[in-house]
Structure 1
Amino acid sequence: MRSMLKAVLASLVICASPVALPAAVSPAFASTDLASAYNDNTDQAFRIGLQTRLAWTGDYDGTFDGRVGPQTLRAIRDFQARNGFAADGVMTDTFLKKVIADSDKVRDGLGFRLVRDDRTGVRVGLPAALVSPAGETEVGSIWRSADSGVEIETVRFHDEGYSLEGVFSVLSANGENKKVSSSTISGDVFTIRGQEDGRSFLIRFSNRDGDLRGFSVAWNKAHEAELKPYTVVAANTFDPFSGEPRADDIGPVAKLFRSGRAEGVAFGEREQPAPQPQGPALAAPGFDSSGTGFVVSKDGWLLTNAHVAKSCKTVLVGDLGAASKVVVDEDHDLALVKVDAAVGQPLPIVANKPRLGEDILALGFPLRSILADSLNVTRGNISSLMGLMNDANYLQISAPVQPGNSGGPLVDLAGRVVGVVTAKLNAVAVADLTGDIPQSINFAIRPDAATRFLEEHDVAFETADAKAPLESVPDATAKVQDSIYPVLCLGSK
C-alpha cells in the first residue's frame, strides 16, 4: 500500500507529499483502528484533499478539517459501495484513481474556481460554467445563472453596527414561506441551510472585530443535483478575509447616511455613480440596487424613493414586470413607477403630519436575497417631526431600517401611510465626527411632502380616514402587505 499511495496521492492534492499508510492496514481493521491509521500515517493536506474530492462526488458533506473520523469513513464506504468496491473503508489504488477521476469530472463540469470579490474582500468559489456576474448590490456582489435558478451573493456589513449573533438570529428564523433545516453558530462563524419559496439556500458568515462578511447561494429544484456538492465545497473553501475591500470614498458628510444604493442622496447630495464590476469575474452589469415601493392609485402607480429608481435602465416591480413609466423628483427623493398589471389596493395616506411619539411600522424588502425575499416589518415610533437640521420634509423614526427599505411605507397601527422610508443614519460615521454613537436614528419623508408630489403629477391617491381604529401589529401588517412590492434596478444609465 505504501508504494501504491505514493504513486497516486500526489494527484489527489496539490503541494502535498502524503505519508503512506502502513502495509498492515487490512479490511479486518475496526473503524477506530482504520481512522487512527489514516490520521497517524498521512499528511493533513492529503486528508483535506480526500474530504474535498469526496464532497465533489457527493459522498461527504462535513467540514474539511483533515481529520478522518466516522463521517469521512462513511463517505469512503459510500463511494466504494456505489462504485462496486468492497465497502470496507480501505483505500486501494483503483479506489483513489476513481475518486480523482469522478471528482475532477464534477468540479470541472461546473467550472469551479476561486474568485476574490474586491467589493467585499472575500474569496468565494464559483461554478463559473453555471453563473455569470450580475453586478453589485448595496452590500456586495451578485452572480446569477441564465435561467435565474441559481443566485450567489457576497455580503459585507462593516459600519452598520450589526453583531454576528444578531444577523444569525434574523437569518435563522423561520417564516411563512421559509423553513430553516440547519443552523449552527460557533465562535465567529455561522452556517444556515434551508428552503424558501421553493428554493434551497445556504448562508455562511464570519466576523472579525465587527467586520461581518458572508455569502449566500440559492437554487431551485432544477439545479439541486449539481449544486449539492458545490455548496459543501463552497462553504468549506470560503475565505471571508482574503483581502481588503475596494474603498468607495464619498466624503465625511455623505457617510452620515445610508439610503439604498446611494449615501447622502436623501439630503440633497449628488449620488455617486454606481461602481461597476472589475476584472473577468465581475464583468457584466445587472442587478444594481433594490428598494421598496407601495401602491398609491388604482391605475397602477407605486411610490418609492428617487434614489431607488432614477438611474435604472429598467425598473422591475416584484413579479409584476418592468415599469412602463418612471417619474422622479430628486429634490425630494421621491419617484413614481407605473406598472401595467393588476396591483394591490392603494394604501391610504394621512392628510396631516403624524403625532410625535406615535407607534409606527416600517415595511420593506431590506438586504434582498440575504435576509429574505419576503416582506420585512420593524416597529418603532416617531421620535421627531423634523429631519436633519430641522428639515420639515422629513420625520425622524426609531424603527430599524436597512438598505432595501428605501421607498417603503411607514404606517401607523391603523394601516395608514404616515411617511416614506428614505435614509439611515450611519452611527459609525457620526462617532468619527462627534465622538458619540447615536442609537436608532433613521428618517422618512413626511406624508404631506409625499401627497404634494402625488398631486403635482395628478395621481389619484386615497386620503386616510382619521378615525380608523388602531389594531395589533399583525393585523395592521396584514392590512397593507399585499400592496407593497420590491423594486429592483437593472443596469445604470
Structure 2
Amino acid sequence: MIYGLVLCAALALPSAAAAQDQIWLQIEAQPTLNEASDRAQAYAALFPDVSGFSTGGWYAIALGPFQDRAAAEDRLRQLKSEGLIPRDSFIASGGDYRAPFWPAGQSAPVVALSDPGDTPLVAAEPAPLSSTETPEEARAAEAALPPEARQKLQAALQWFGHYDGKIDGSFGAGTRRSMADWQTEQGEEPTGILTSTQRQSLVAAYDQAQAELGLATQTETEAGIEITLPTALVEFDHYEPPFVHFRAKNGSEVQVILISQPGDQSTLYGLYDVLQTLEIMPVEGERSRSEASFTIDGRSATRATHAYAELSKGLVKGYILVWNPKEDARMARVLAAMQSSFRSVGDTALDPGLVPLSDETRRGLMAGLEVRRPVLSRSGFYVDGNGTVATVAEAVEGCNRITLDLRHDARLLHVDPATGLALLTPVTPLSPPAVADLLSGPARSGQDIAVSGYSYEDKLPAPTLTFGTLEEMKGLNGETGVARLSVEVLAGDAGGPVLDSTGTVIGLLLPRDTEGARRLPASVSYALQAATLAPRLSEAGVAPRASTRTGALAPEDLNRLAEGMTVLVSCW
C-alpha cells in the first residue's frame, strides 16, 4: 500500500555515485551551503523533485533525475516558457555532482515512503574547505605548483571578482589580498595563503563556472580571428561577410557576431557609424572612437550590447556581444573572457565571396543584420555656420534621439508652437556645405519656386527638388506669416527650404494638415515666410543671414546649393 503521495521517481535521496550516472535539469548554483539550502527549500515549494549536490566549492540545485535527455529537454522548455526557472538553466549529466545536501534535515520536503518502516536518507554535509595544513605547509605546497597551476589560481580569483592584476603566476601583494578576500567570502581565516583543499575548491568552482558557460577558445579560420566564446550559450549560425553569426543556444538570448573585413580608417569609421543604427544596438550607452579602434556600449531594459573593432595592417576585425541585462553578472565574465582573448590571426579577412550574395546585399555593409529605422524623418536646412538647423516641430516630437543625416546627434534648441518651427543644434559642431540666405523683403506672387526635401525620408541619400509656383503671401483665409504654394510635395519634404530662382530661401515648408475637416487639393501647400522665420531665429540666439542674391541660377547650381543646405532630420 502506498502511504501519501509519491513525489518523484527516486523516492530516496540519490547518492553521489548514482547522481553522476543520471540526467538532471540544473536550475541554480550557489557559492555557499546556506544559500543553496535556502534556494532548494524555496524551489521545493514549487517542484516535487528538487535535489542538491556539492560540486567542489559550489552547490548545484537540480530537478530530476530524468529517464532520458528528451524528457529533460521537454521539462526545460516547459518551465522556461512558464518563467518558473532561470533562463540559464541547462541539462546536466551529473558528472560533477558529489555529496548530496538536499533533501536533508527537518527543512526537507516530506517524501512519502512505500513502506512505513522505511527511513529517509539524510545527506552528508560536504567537507569544509579548511584543512590541517599550517600556513608554512600550505606555502611550501604552493611553491611546488607548476607555473600554469599558479596562473590558473589567479584566473580563478579574477573570475570570482577578487583579483584584477596580471595573470603571471607571481603571487605578490595583490594576489595575496585576493586570496584573503576569497577566504573571507568562504568563511575561512583570511591568511592570504590557500591550503591545498582551498586551492582545489577554488579551481573546481572556476572549472564548473566555465563549464556552465562553455567558455572555449575558438579559432575562426575564415575570418582570421581567435577568441573565447560561451559555447554553451551560442552556436555557429552562418557566414555573411563581413560577419560571422553565432545564434542563441538553449534559449540563452545571447548573440555573438564576429567582424572581419579588409579596409582602412574610413572603413572603420563607417562601421562605427552604421553599427549604431542596428536594432541590436540600443540608443543609450557610451561610445568612444580613436584613430585605430572603437567601442560601443548600448543598453535598454531588454537588451545590452557591446561592440569592439580595431584596424591593423589594412584589416578591420572585431566582435559584438548581445545579451539580456538580467544576465549582467554572468555576461560580465563572458565579456571579460572575450576581451582578453580576442586577437587577429594571420593576414586575411573574411572573403566577400565565401557565400553567394546579391549585388545589392554585397553593397550593403550590414548584410544579415536588421538596421534600426527612425520613427520618422523630415527635412530641415542650415541657418548658420555652426550647423543650427531649422525644421518643423512634428519632426522632433517625442523623440528619444534626434539625428542629422543619420550620422550626427542633435539636441532641441527651441520650439515655437505658434508657427510649428523647431530649431536644432548639433551635439558636435558641424561645418555646413551651405547656409540659407533668407529673403528680407516681399516675395512676388506667381514666381517659380523649388522645394528641397527628403521626399522619401531616409530611403534616398540626397534631397530632391520639387518645382512649383508661389501663389500668394497669405493663406486661403487671409492668414499672415505664411505663403501659399502650388506644388505637390510628400510628408518627408516638410521642414525643407522653399527657394526662388536665385537660391534665396523665401520660406520653410510646413506639413500638410491631415486632421482637419477639409482636405485641400494635393497641389496646395503652405510655407512659413522667411520674414516670420528670421525674428524667431534671433530670439533663439541665432543670427539669420539676409540674402543679397541676384540673378537666376542655372538648374545644376540651384540643385547643388539646395543639396548643401538641406538636412535629413530623423526622430528615433
Q: TM-score, normalised by structure 1?
A: 0.45
Structure 1 or 2, whichever has the larger Rg, is: 2
TM-score by length of 2: 0.40
